[in-house]
């Protein structure tokens, strides 16, 4: 099994551990990842605020490179990158105007793109291509008894919902059940917004949103929150101390990229998973998993 791989900008800084653990997990599962050559920023949510067509054009540069580089699907780890790239395909298909403008811009730099490169979220690849049975068979350290709060984040299945439900996604629940965890399947904040980029511009609003998620996880008795997006992870984990000072709480809830926890179940060394890069220690999680 082989995929082209788009790490995204966060994977080079705050989300480094997501990239490291993704590569480790995929290797353990025998999935080959070939990094997309000379990829650029997907544009994220900020780019849509300038000129819509620019955001599609820069996203399409990546997709055009992907088409050139090979026939494999493009696997993406960040929810926001995933949505931006998948949305570009969809809008190119829906609108002849978008299609023409994007190709005009690409032609100006000697490229073109027909709008058909499949963009896949890493969880989609794991569940639907690798398969839960195959994954379960490779588990060396079952997550028995570990209370996992699956946090999906907004742009996991919204707005497109191609591989999971937009209102009640289940894939991450099923994935961690396969790894033996005690998944908090009715975690009410699984889709609540973390505030995204607003943590930098309207911190009071974002802190409140994170507070609601953390409170919900604590009330459910979660041992760990798992995330599938660098921004969600950063907001819920890195800003936990600030949530505490803003709301007089004492949260100390480990937040991991879902690939980090999966890596542990698959027997990877914590160092190969970027553990220890977190501001909130994951040591309690490591201690809680039966050896």
Partner 1 sequence: MPSGEKIKICQQCGTCTGSCPTSYLMDYGPREVIAAFRAGMIDKVVKSNTIWLCTSCYSCTVRCPANIKITDLMYELKRLAIKYDLLPKDSKNPAMTKYFIDNVSKYGRNHEVGLMAKFMLTKDWGMPFRFAGLGLKLFTAGRLPLAPKQIRGKEEIAKMSAYLDAQEAKAQ
- Interface residue list for partner 1 (CB under 8 A): 9-10, 12-17, 38-41, 43-54, 57-58, 61, 83, 91, 94-95, 97-98, 101, 104-106, 108-109, 111, 154-155, 158-159, 161, 166-167, 192-193, 195-198, 200-203, 205, 209, 238-239, 241-242, 276-279
Q: How far is the CB of 259 from partner 1 (least distance, A)?
A: 16
Instruction: Report long-range pairs for 205-209 (Cβ below 8 Å, ≥24 apart).
Output: 206/235, 206/239, 207/239, 207/242, 207/243, 207/246, 207/247, 208/246
Return the number of the residue (1 or 205) whose C-beta is nearest partner 1. Answer: 205
Q: How far is the CB of 268 from partner 1 (least distance, A)?
A: 19
195 Cβ neighbours under 8 A, 6+ residues apart: 202, 205, 206, 207, 208, 209, 210, 235
- CB count, 10 Å around CB of 29? 18
Return the number of the residue (14 or 249) whose C-beta is nearest partner 1. Answer: 14
Q: How far is the CB of 234 from partner 1 (least distance, A)?
A: 9
Closest CA to 224 of 174, 260, 199, 249: 260
Return the number of the residue (75 or 229) whose C-beta is nearest partner 1. Answer: 229
Q: How far is the CB of 57 from partner 1 (least distance, A)?
A: 5
Return the number of the residue (29 or 154) whose C-beta is nearest partner 1. Answer: 154
Return the number of the residue (179 or 216) whose C-beta is nearest partner 1. Answer: 216
Return the number of the residue (192 or 218) whose C-beta is nearest partner 1. Answer: 192
Angle at alpha carbon of residue 58, lines to 228 and 256, rounded to 5°? 10
Beta bridge partners, 75, equal 5, 120
Q: CB of 42 within 8 A of CB of 85?
A: yes
- Burial class of residue 171 (count of CB atoms within 10 Å of its CB; 0-12, 13-18, 19+): buried
Cα–Cα distances in Å, from 215 out to 67, 105, 211, 258? 44, 46, 6, 20
Return the number of the residue (67 or 155) whose C-beta is nearest partner 1. Answer: 155
Q: How far is the CB of 63 from partner 1 (least distance, A)?
A: 13
Q: How far is the CB of 242 from partner 1 (least distance, A)?
A: 7
Q: How far is the CB of 11 from partner 1 (least distance, A)?
A: 10
């Amino acid at each position: 099994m082989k995929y082209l791989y788009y790490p995204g900008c966060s994977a080079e800084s705050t989300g480094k551990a997501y990239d490291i653990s993704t590569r480790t997990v995929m290797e353990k599962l025998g999935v080959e990842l070939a990094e997309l050559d000379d990829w650029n920023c997907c544009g994220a949510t900020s780019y849509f605020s300038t000129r819509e067509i620019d955001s599609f054009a820069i996203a399409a540069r990546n997709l055009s490179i992907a088409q050139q580089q090979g026939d494999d699907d493009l696997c993406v780890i960040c929810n926001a990158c995933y949505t931006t790239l998948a949305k570009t395909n969809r809008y190119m298909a829906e609108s002849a105007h978008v299609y023409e403008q994007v190709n005009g811009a690409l032609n100006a730099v000697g490229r073109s793109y027909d709008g058909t490169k499949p963009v896949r979220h890493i969880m989609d690849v794991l569940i639907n291509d690798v398969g839960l049975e195959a994954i379960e068979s490779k588990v060396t350290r079952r997550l028995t008894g570990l209370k996992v709060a699956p946090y999906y984040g907004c742009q996991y299945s919204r707005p497109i919902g191609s591989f999971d439900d937009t209102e009640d996604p289940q894939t991450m629940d099923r994935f961690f059940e396969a790894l033996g965890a005690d998944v908090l399947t009715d975690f009410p904040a699984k889709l609540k917004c973390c505030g995204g980029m607003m943590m930098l511009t309207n911190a009071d609003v974002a802190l409140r949103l994170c507070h609601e998620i953390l409170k919900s996880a604590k009330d459910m008795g979660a041992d760990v929150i798992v995330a599938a997006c660098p921004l969600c992870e950063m907001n819920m984990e890195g800003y936990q101390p600030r949530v505490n000072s803003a709301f007089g709480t004492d949260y100390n809830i480990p937040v991991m990229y879902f690939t980090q926890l999966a890596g542990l179940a698959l027997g990877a060394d914590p160092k190969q998973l970027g553990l220890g890069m977190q501001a909130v220690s994951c040591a309690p999680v490591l201690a809680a998993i039966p050896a």
